[in-house]
């Protein structure tokens, strides 16, 4: 393996493609060397912006001995093929969510990565934000009692302000709209809250309400309600049509409740004894930084794979519920 580790961007399709390319340029232990895209015009434009070589052949790029890893920001439906090819070539992989469109495809990729000893990380950044670290500690303490309710809301104005690229509304590539893209974050946070570290993303019931406010053919406003076997209810809200709605988390239990985000970056726990503020620590290392540590170790932890699989499981169920 080279030092610094040489990285290539696989596709400029996703809006985070440039961000991950910049992360490879800014990290002291990685060097961005190339970009591939199945759309040569789009790829060359992004390569020029990043100041790296555009390589029109994926096979040629993955065959390079001087390439250590890749960031994958293709269309969601291309993940299985592109990530599979990168694994087969022995390249370490940092990918935008989803890992794959189905749980079965996730399992195949994870097993292939394990066999190859590849560091495979899915970008689930909010798992490592300070508020998640704080709420983990509250949940682990048991002070809320048995959980009965969870609500996570995250939205932006990408559709009404028209800054999302048109390809984000192509269900053939995205397998969905706002819930599959932005809603992925409430999904993996809800899985953590209601299912713990070993959540598999499967619930006793899943009910979806999807609407298309701007008429682009996929949902841009979405709410999903899940329930657990123990009777807890989870509400997941997202959309591309609400620019001023704060990111927020509510958790209720039999002995207390937690609120985050309604008054800025503050967290409060309330019980019969009263309310207290919870200190929100600084964010932990980013998923990209953790991936670089993983590929350096020689024994990758691949810590995002279980939550990524659970994410896909719930998204599949939510999309199926919306279709009925």
Q: Are residues 156 and 104 in the same domain?
A: no
167 within domain boundaries? yes
β-pair partners for 153? 237, 248
Query: DSSP for 170-218?
Result: -HHHHSSSHHHHTTHHHHHHHHHHHHGGG--S--SEEEEEEE-TT-SSS
- Cα gap 130→128, rounded to integer Å: 6
- 265-299: pLDDT as tens digits: 899 999 988 999 999 999 999 999 999 999 888 88
Q: Is residue 289 part of a domain?
A: no
CA 82 centroid distance within chain: 18
| Pairing outcome for strands 221-227 and 233-239 | antiparallel
C-alpha closest to that of 277 among 258, 262, 300, 250: 258
* Domain boundaries, position 15: 5-118
Last residue of a domain, one of 102, 118, 134: 118
Do 12 and 70 fall into the same domain?
A: yes
Q: Work out the angle between the directed axes of helices 79-88 and 103-116 (0-180°, nearest 10).
A: 10
Residues in Cβ contact with 180 at an 8 Å cutoff, skipping those fewer than 6 apart = 76, 98, 174, 315, 319
| Cα→Cα distances 315→15, 16, 67, 136, 189, Å | 20, 20, 33, 23, 13
Dihedral, CA atoms, 111, 113, 114, 117, nearest 10 degrees? 160
Q: Could you tell me the strand order of the sheet in which 53-54 lies? A: 53-54, 30-36, 5-10, 69-72, 92-96, 120-123
Taking the model in full, what pTM does it have? 0.96
pLDDT computed for residue 47 by the predictor: 98
What is the per-residue pLDDT for 305?
A: 95
The verdict on residue 301 lying in a domain is no
CATH number at residue 100: 3.40.50.720
Q: What would the pLDDT profile of 176-230 be if each residue is shown by its tens digit?
A: 999 999 999 999 999 999 986 557 778 999 999 999 999 999 999 999 999 999 9
Say whether both 133 and 278 belong to one domain: yes
**In this structure, are 150 and 257 located in the same domain?**
yes
Residue where a domain terminates, one of 87, 118, 149: 118
The whole-number pLDDT of residue 197 equals: 58
Is 61 in the same domain as 166?
A: no
17 and 56 share one domain? yes
Predicted pLDDT at 202:
83
Residue 298 has what pLDDT? 83
* Coil/strand/helix, residue 117: coil
Q: How many structural domains is the chain composed of?
A: 2
* Residues 136, 86 within the same domain: no
| CB proximity list for 51: less than 8 A, separation 6 or greater | none
Report how far residue 21's alpha carbon sits from residue 10's, in angstroms, rounded to the nearest whole number: 10
The answer to whether residue 170 is domain-embedded is yes
Residue 295 lies in a domain: no
User: Which residue ranges in the chain fall short of pLDDT 70?
Assistant: 196-198
Do residues 110 and 159 both lie within one domain? no
Residues 259, 203, 83: CA angle, nearest 5 degrees: 95
Question: Residue 32: CB partners within 8 Å, gap ≥ 6?
Answer: 7, 8, 9, 21, 24, 25, 50, 52
- Can you spell out the DSSP letters for 56-71? S-HHHHHT-TT--EEE
In a shared domain, residues 112 and 130: no
Answer yes or no: do 263 and 163 share one domain: yes
pLDDT at 198: 57
Q: Distances from the Cα of 215 to the Cαs of 159, 174, 184, 265, in angstroms?
A: 10, 16, 22, 34
CATH number at residue 257: 3.30.360.10
Give me the helix-helix angle, 184-195 and 305-322, nearest 10°: 110
């Amino acid at each position: 393996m080279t030092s610094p580790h040489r990285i290539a961007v696989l596709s400029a399709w996703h809006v985070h493609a440039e961000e991950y390319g910049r992360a490879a340029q800014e990290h002291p232990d990685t060097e961005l060397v190339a970009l591939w895209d199945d759309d040569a015009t789009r790829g060359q434009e992004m390569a020029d912006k990043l100041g790296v070589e555009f390589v029109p052949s994926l096979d040629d790029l993955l065959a390079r001995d001087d390439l250590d890893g890749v960031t994958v920001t293709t269309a969601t439906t291309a993940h299985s093929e592109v990530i599979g090819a990168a694994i087969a070539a022995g390249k370490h992989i940092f990918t935008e969510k989803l890992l794959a469109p189905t749980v079965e495809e996730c399992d195949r990729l994870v097993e292939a990565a394990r066999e190859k000893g590849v560091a495979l990380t899915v970008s689930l950044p909010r798992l490592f934000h300070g508020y998640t670290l704080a709420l983990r500690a509250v949940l682990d303490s048991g002070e809320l009692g048995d959980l009965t309710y969870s609500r996570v809301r995250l939205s932006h104005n990408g559709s009404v302000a028209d800054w999302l690229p048109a390809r984000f509304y192509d269900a053939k590539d995205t397998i969905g709209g706002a819930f599959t893209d932005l809603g992925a974050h409430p999904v993996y946070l809800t899985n953590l809250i209601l299912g713990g570290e070993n959540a598999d993303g499967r619930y006793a019931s899943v009910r979806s309400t999807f609407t298309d406010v701007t008429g682009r053919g996929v949902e841009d406003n979405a709410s999903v309600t899940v329930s657990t076997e123990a009777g807890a209810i989870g509400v997941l809200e997202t959309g591309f049509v609400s620019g001023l709605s704060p990111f927020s988390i509510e958790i209720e239990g039999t002995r207390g409740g937690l609120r985050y985000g309604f008054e800025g970056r503050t967290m409060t726990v309330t019980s019969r004894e009263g309310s207290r503020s919870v200190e929100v620590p600084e964010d932990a290392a980013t998923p990209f930084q953790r991936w670089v540590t993983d590929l350096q170790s020689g024994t990758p932890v691949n810590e995002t794979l279980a939550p990524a699989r659970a994410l896909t499981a719930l998204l599949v169920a939510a999309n199926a519920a919306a279709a009925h």
